[in-house]
Amino acid sequence: MFIQTETTPNPATLKFLPGRAVLPQGTLDLRNEEEAARSPLAAKLFEIPQVSGVFFGQDFITVTKSDGEWQHLKPAILGAIMEHYLSGEPILKSGASAQTSADEEFFDADDASTVATIKELIETRVRPAVANDGGDITFRGYKDGIVFLNMKGACAGCPSSTATLKNGIENLLRHFVPDVQEVRPM
């Protein structure tokens, strides 16, 4: 098994590509050992000192470190991923889901058509680019012209995430949806 790695715009996060499916649907952002208990692989990764976050995408895993150098952490992470896939264990424990209660959305019913357009733009133009950087972005809500988005994986805590939201996503949404005034993280 060959696992590729890629850097992300977030220097504290590295993207691992195992060359096979990770999560067939959705994404999963795990930020501590308690959350990681839902996944045998995430639990193994959190056993590595300095691992502070694990994110599963469709075909990639991003790992966030609290400190330390990637050259020292990377071999242990690669070993844990390889060992997991060779064991045949599932990514998620039986009964565990990739979705969380934090995925609930809010918006006024009168704004349903605006929200549908916003969601389509995020799904078709924004999410693929963000996934390339080892993260995910999801719609959380819309109120009074403000779009609320949740950034996950490599994008959470990334130094350039504010620029991505303000200069990239906000400008895109304002161009196609004139009612949008601002984009905020949530």
Residue-by-residue pLDDT tens, the chain, 186 positions: 899 999 998 999 999 999 999 998 888 999 999 999 999 999 999 999 999 999 999 999 999 999 999 999 999 999 999 999 999 999 998 766 665 445 689 999 999 999 999 999 999 999 888 888 888 888 999 999 999 998 888 777 777 777 778 788 999 999 999 999 999 988
d(CA 161, CA 135): 11
| CATH number at 4-87 | 3.30.1370.70
Which CATH superfamily does the domain covering 101-185 fall into?
Fe-S cluster assembly (FSCA) (3.30.300.130)
What pLDDT sits at residue 93?
86
Contact 24, 36 (CB under 8 A): no
What pLDDT sits at residue 101?
43
d(CA 144, CA 151): 21
pTM of structure? 0.81
Q: From residue 144, how far is each of 74, 92, 133, 148 by CA, in Å?
A: 45, 38, 30, 11
Secondary structure tally for the chain: helices H, strands E: 7, 9
Domain boundaries, the chain: 4-87, 101-185
Structure tokens that stand for 14 in this block: 């590295």
Number of Cβ within a 10 Å radius of residue 85: 17
